[in-house]
Amino acid sequence: MDEYMNTPGRKSPTALGMALGLRLRDVRRLSGVEARTAAKHVCLSSPVFSRLERGTRRPRVEEAAGLLSLYESHGTPAGTDVEEFLQLVKLAGEPGWWEQHKRVIPRWFDRFIGLQEAATWIRTYEYQLVPGLLQTEEYAREVVKIAYLLAGPDEVEERVRLRLARQELLTAPGAPRVQAVIHEAVLHTSIGGPDVMRRQLEHLEQAGQREGVVVQILPFATTCLALGSPMTLLRSDGYRLPEIVYIEQGQGASYIDQPSETEHYSAQMSQLAISAASIEMSQDMLRTAIERLS
C-alpha cells in the first residue's frame, strides 16, 4: 500500500486517485485491451473513461474491480494485491482536510490543493502577487478582499484560513522543495499599504533563508520574457506522478499533464530561474525594498 503513499506525514486523496488511474491505464495497455472495450465493460463513456485513466476522475471501487478482472482475464495481473488496490481506491474517495472549507473552494481549485498537498517539488512564477504559500496573514487578507469584492467578512476570513492552512505543508514532515520566481514588480505593488507590504517582504526574505525554499526576484531589466500568466509546476515523487502545470485564469484554471506540453512549461520555468537574480542578489533586492518601506 505504501508503494502509492510514501510521502511522509501527508496523504492526498486527489494524488492517490490520480496515481491509481494511471496504474489502471498501464495495466490495460499491458493486457492489450482497447480503451473503448474497457470503458464499455464498466459502463463508462469514452470521455469519462479517458478522465479516469488520466487521473482527473477518481475510480470507483466497482469500476476498479471490474477493470482489474477484465485485464486479468487477458493474462495481465494488476502488479499488486487486488484487495489492497481496492482498499486504496476507497482511500482515494475519502475527503481531504480542505473539505471543511468547501464552501469557498471552487471545483477547479480543489484538485490543485490536493496535488499541492502531495507535491515533493513546487516551482512557481508570479508577476503580480507574492505566491500564496509565502503570503503573510494580513497580506493574504488584503489580496482576498481585492479578488472577491462581493465577499462578506465571514467568507473573507474563511478564505484566509484556508490559505494559511495550505501553508502548513511547508513545515510538515516530507515538506516539498519550493522554488519561487517573483517579478520585481511584486515588490513595488502596494497591497494593504506600506506597513503590510514591509512585513510581507520581511516574511519573504526570511522564507528565502529556509532550507528547501528558494526565492528569486526577476528584475525589471531582465531580457527574459515575462509570461502573461502566473504558473505553478507540481511534481510528486511520492505518488510517482508526472509533473503537472497549473495555470489560473480568472474564474477557472488549466491543468496540463501531457509530457509534450509540460516539457515546454518546465523549460520556460527553468529559463525564468536562470534569468532571475541569484539567491544572494534576490535577498539584497528584498532588503532594499524593505528599507524603502521603513
Q: How far apart are the first and last CA of the chain?
A: 53
**pLDDT digit of tens for each residue in the chain (294 aa)?**
445 555 545 678 999 999 999 999 999 999 999 999 999 999 999 999 999 999 889 999 999 999 999 999 987 666 667 888 999 999 999 989 999 999 999 888 999 999 999 999 999 999 999 999 999 999 999 999 999 999 999 999 999 999 999 999 999 888 999 999 999 999 999 999 999 999 999 999 999 999 999 999 999 987 666 556 789 999 998 888 889 999 988 778 999 988 889 999 999 999 999 999 999 999 999 999 999 998
What are 200's three cell numbers? 510581507
Domain 100-131+166-293 has CATH 3.30.413.10: no
Cβ-based neighbours of 66, under 8 Å, separated by 6 or more:
41, 42
**Whole-number pLDDT of residue 205:** 97
**Whole-number pLDDT of residue 4:** 52
Tell me how far apart the alpha carbons of residues 162 and 157 are, in angstroms, rounded to a whole number. Answer: 9
| Cα–Cα distances in angstroms (integers) from residue 262 to residues 70, 127, 247, in the given order | 32, 20, 12
How many DSSP H helices and E strands does the chain contain? 11, 6
**Whole-number pLDDT of residue 80:** 61
Per domain, the residue ranges of the chain are: 13-92, 100-131+166-293
Instruction: Give one word for 6, left, alpha or beta, with left for phi > 0 and alpha for psi -120 to 50.
Output: alpha
| Cα–Cα distances in angstroms (integers) from residue 180 to residues 77, 88, 201, 211, 280, in the given order | 42, 33, 14, 13, 14
Instruction: Give one word for 36, left, alpha or beta, with left for phi > 0 and alpha for psi -120 to 50.
Output: alpha
**Whole-number pLDDT of residue 174:** 87
CATH class assigned to 13-92 = mainly alpha
| pTM score, whole prediction | 0.89
Edge to edge, the sheet with strand 253-256 lists 213-218, 177-183, 121-126, 231-236, 241-248, 253-256
Q: Which amino acid is at 197?
A: M
**Whole-number pLDDT of residue 228:** 60
| Cα–Cα distances in angstroms (integers) from residue 269 to residues 177, 263, 264, 282, in the given order | 15, 10, 9, 17
